[in-house]
Each structure stands twice: as structure tokens, then as C-alpha cells.
Structure 1
């Protein structure tokens, strides 16, 4: 099941994908015996609440939607599929961590770079200090991002304080049930849907902030990208380790990152977060950058005028045009 939201005047309307088009959930739920009027009203405007509805509701809605002619030219502009209640970004991929660290050394530590290069040429990669902190192998690690800074397709203005804007392709997933002290299986069962996340980063600022020992701040909190569509967990969760993504820069395919190789399962990651901590529907998580899914790994950061398009097959896409900072900002 794939959902999106459009604005119907001042009120969001949830739509479900059917046969190459979209059907308003309000029409698909009209007359159903599986919901009260209050539940229908909620599910028509709140995609997360709809994803958390009983399976019988989903089956009945999809059967009814299949009998309705889908909209293929809806003039209403899609908005974010939901407003995240929080955002936690894991680092599940060691290969990205190592390759990004190598990129940081190459770019920001020019005196150390020859040593790293010589070591790896002689002994073999990776240079020991490029590997993640030992805590990474003992528990899922993550940072708390700015859940209020998400936006979809469109212009992305470079923050005035950075000369090193980067993209990061990530698989996002959102809860549709509350949790606390969950087992991995319980945590997986609470995942409602999947999205594509672009965790934009100011790399020059990030380098200094991370060396402070206090984690990312202005390097991360200015903007995140979120795909316009959300796909239900039943379609993605069983195969989340087998997905292929893509990165296109100015129309050129430059990378096809894979979701394989994560250190922890999504259930293990969310269960860890839920230890003595209550989690709620609408809380958003991301896997961390897929290996090869960022510019710092490739030595090519974003510039004004670039168009960056990222996506994950079966989940969604996100396209942003990079714009110079506003004068005087």
C-alpha cells in the first residue's frame, strides 16, 4: 500500500495508489463497516493513523479503491506524507562510515592524508582510525535531528555558513504504534511505513562539531528531505536489506547504493531506542547513509545550480535544486 497527502483547501487529504493513479481515502472508506465516523475522519487526513489501522480496514479500503476510477491528473500538489514527531538517524553501515571518514581526512586533514593513503596502500584498508567507535559494534548508535526541518521536492537553499553542502541517501521508517521496552519483534511490528530521506549535511561545519565531542548541530539541523510517498511496512520490511537506491546529479546516474550490510536489524535498532523510553506513532527513524550514497565519499559536494535526485526502488524519490544563499543571509 502506497499513500500520499495532498492539500484539499486548508485540509490534508490522504490518497492511496491504485492502478497508476490515486484515489482519495475518503472515497475508499465511504460506507465501510470497519470504522466509526470519527475513525474514518482521522484516517482520511492522517497517513500514520491509517497505517496503524487494523488489517481488515486496509483490505476493505483497497478493495473499494480498486472499484473507483483513479485520479491521474490531480491538480492538488502533494505535501509531506506526515509531519514527523521526532527524528532519530542511525548509523547502520560501517562501509559508509569508513568511506566518509576517508573523505573527511582527504578534504579537511591534508597533512594526515598521505599517511592514511600510504598505510592503506601497504597494509590494506581501512586505516584503523577510520573505523567507527567501538560502541558502534555493541549497540545501535544514532543522533537526534530536527524533525521540524523536513521538506519535499523543490529548491534547497545552501546555508549561509557552509561551503560544503552534501546529500545523504537513507531509508526512512516511521512508527504507527507506541512502544516502550520493546523486543526486536515488537519494534518491527510497530513500524508503519517507509520513506526516502535525504539527510543534508554541512560537511565543513560537521567536521568541527564532531571533533568537539558533542555531536552534529548546525551541520545537520537546517534541512532534511522526505519523499512525498510512504509505503506500508508489509511491502518493504521483509526485504529491506535487498533494496537498490540511486543518486542522480544533474541528470547523471552517479551511484546505485544498496541497503544490504546493515549492522543491526531495524527491530534491534528501534528496540534499543525504546529501552525505558516511550515512543509514539509518527516518530521517524533512518538507517543512516547507504554506502556510496553521499558526496563526501565520492569527493563531489553540492554546488549552487546542481539538481540532486535520490531514490530507492519501490519506496520513493526526492528531487532538489540547489540554490545559493539569499543575499544578506
Structure 2
């Protein structure tokens, strides 16, 4: 099943299934959020009640991001990506021992999610980049257990998968992470999701013996293919990422968990690190990034105009006094 959100140009948002070349609204006014919360088995029951003739042509609507995320965690699960990007940041290609110990992630901004074809409006940056990722979308599950999941329990709460483009301003990201926190403004201006959520059961034929998702992923800038990889090259399969996210915390329906950037050119920064130069060049206004993932489809993201923000002063050097100086009344 494919689940999507769309608009017909009147401002009305539709939510439902993609059946062939048509979009069909959920019955009874259901929303994507409600269908996710009910879980995959209930989604199949709802799907059985609709027919393609109830909908409209896919070509007559504009797809939106397939959900409004409750949260977005983005992992860094591809060893090859870490190896290449580390060289672009500090000139040394390495994968630190800590990477192998546990899957690492950061939280990004759920309020700047972009849909298919929606342009990213980056901050002022000299190193705009894309990141080719697949993301798991969390749904409901029997028992509704959310915290400290095992990998088997986590597998049961993965509702489906979508394509994710974690847009990145590498110069801003590099500065922020020198302070040993972040990334923040180097990332939070835009994350593209889409074109729809494909339910997890559709991917069972692609799972290898260890539970890794062996699907092909490619990324193009214009007509040039920049990178391609198998998603099964992750260090951990998706259920283990979800289980780790739930440690002493909770995962809930609508959470999005990105795989992190694929290897072999899943982003420009990896290639910059390996080649020692800005080759290919950073993204600029007018570029179009197209991501194609087997079993899901295609996510296109145009690059729009840079949006300058009001400047803020640098930190003031303060006295570090430990007591307030008393002021003499005038």
C-alpha cells in the first residue's frame, strides 16, 4: 500500500491511498496520523473498503509530504559515508571506534518538512548539499508498547518507509560541530519527505538473511547520477535503529527515523572528502536533486533562492564575576 497527502490546488488537503495512478481519500475523514496510530493491520482493513474509482487522477493533484512528523531522528548508519565525510571536515578519513558501539542520531526540525517538488530555501551558505536517505515511519502495534523495545518488538512498530533528503549547509554544520553540539542551523532549514509512505509488508521480499533492506538507492543532480548504493550497507537494520531510539525514551506513531546518508556518493560532502576538492560543485539556486529508491519511487527537490537572516552579534567576553556588582543610586 502507498499512503499519501495531497492538495488539489484549492487549499484543501486530501489524505489517503495511492491506487495505481489515482489518489483515493481515506473513508470517514480519516487522516494519515490516525491511520498510523491504528497500525498496519487496521490500514489493510481500511484499504479493503476503498476502490480506485472513488479517487482522482494522481496527475491532477500536488503531492505533499506524506505525513506531519511527530519527530524526526536522523541516524548516521553508513560506514562509507562517515569515512568520506570525515575527510571533508578535518582532512582525515576515519571511522571512530565509537561509531561501531551504537547507532548515533540527532533530532532535526519537524516544522520545516518539504514535500515532493517543493523547493528548499537555504540559508546563506557556500556548501549546500543533499543527503540520500530512506526513512522508517512509526505506526501503532499490538500492545502499544513504546519504550525499551527489543529489535523484534521494534520491527512490529515500523509502519512503512519513505525517501528522505536531509538538506545540509556543510559550512554552517562544520562550525557548529566544532563546539561539540549540533548540527543545528546547518540542517534544520529543510528536510524533504516523499513521495508517499510504502507499507512495510511491501518490502519483505527485499529483506536479506540478517533483516537488512536490500533495495537500490540513487541520487541525481540534473541528469547526472552522483551516487548509488544498497540500503543494506547500513551498519544496523532498521528495527535495531528503532529499538535504540526507544531506549529509556519512547517512539510514537508519526515518528520518522532516517537511515543517514547512503555511501558511494549519497551526498556531495563524501565525494569532496575523498577527492580533496569541491567536486562536484556545491548546490546552487536552480539545481534539481532527484532521488530514486527501489520499491518506493522518486523524490524531487528543487533548490530555491537563498534566504538571508538578520545577523546576530558574536558572543561578548564577560568578566566572570561571581557576585553582582552593586550600583550606586544617582
| TM-score interval for Structure 1 and Structure 2 normalised by the shorter chain | 0.7 to 0.9
Check whether the contact 2:127–2:171 (CA below 8 A) recurs between aligned residues: yes
Counterpart residue number, 1:142: 105
> Is residue 2:119 matched to residue 1:155?
yes
SS of aligned partner of 1:260: helix
Q: Using the TM superposition, name which of 62-71 and 220-229 deviates more.
A: 62-71
Counterpart residue number, 2:217: 245
TM-score when normalising by structure 1: 0.80
C-alpha distance 326-63 of structure 1, shift in aligned 2 (>3 A): closer
For 1:250 and 1:243, the matched residues in 2 are separated by 22
SS of aligned partner of 1:154: coil
> Is residue 2:289 matched to residue 1:308?
yes
What are structure 2's unaligned runs of at least 5 residues? Answer: 272-278, 311-330
Counterpart residue number, 1:122: none
Check whether the contact 1:243–1:312 (CA below 8 A) recurs between aligned residues: yes
Check whether the contact 1:251–1:307 (CA below 8 A) recurs between aligned residues: no
- Structure-to-structure mapping, 1:16-95, within 5 angstroms: 16-26=17-27, 40-41=28-29, 44-45=30-31, 47-53=32-38, 57-66=42-51, 68=53, 71-72=56-57, 75-95=60-80
C-alpha distance 57-217 of structure 1, shift in aligned 2 (>3 A): closer
> Is residue 2:115 matched to residue 1:130?
no
> Is residue 2:198 matched to residue 1:234?
no
C-alpha distance 262-158 of structure 1, shift in aligned 2 (>3 A): same
C-alpha distance 7-206 of structure 1, shift in aligned 2 (>3 A): same
SS of aligned partner of 1:256: strand
Counterpart residue number, 2:176: 209
**Structure 1 position 5, deviation (Å):** 1.1
C-alpha distance 21-93 of structure 1, shift in aligned 2 (>3 A): same
TM-score when normalising by structure 2: 0.80
Of 260, 266, 270, which residue of structure 2 is paired with 1:297?
Answer: 270
Check whether the contact 1:181–1:274 (CA below 8 A) recurs between aligned residues: yes
For 2:309 and 2:70, the matched residues in 1 are separated by 32
Task: Give the paired residue count.
Answer: 290
Superposed CA RMSD in Å reads 2.4
Counterpart residue number, 2:6: 6
For 2:191 and 2:198, the matched residues in 1 are separated by 19
Counterpart residue number, 2:299: 318
> Is residue 2:130 matched to residue 1:167?
yes
What are structure 1's unaligned runs of at least 5 residues? Answer: 27-39, 110-128
What do the CA deviations read for 1:112-166 (whole angstroms, capped 9, x no partner)?
Answer: xxxxxxxxxxxxxxxxx53233221111111111111111122222312x11100
**Structure 1 position 174, deviation (Å):** 1.4
> Is residue 2:235 matched to residue 1:263?
yes
For 2:157 and 2:305, the matched residues in 1 are separated by 40
Counterpart residue number, 2:158: 191
Check whether the contact 1:135–1:141 (CA below 8 A) recurs between aligned residues: no
Check whether the contact 1:48–1:192 (CA below 8 A) recurs between aligned residues: no
For 1:55 and 1:283, the matched residues in 2 are separated by 15
Check whether the contact 1:51–1:232 (CA below 8 A) recurs between aligned residues: no
Of 186, 189, 199, which residue of structure 2 is paired with 1:219?
Answer: 186
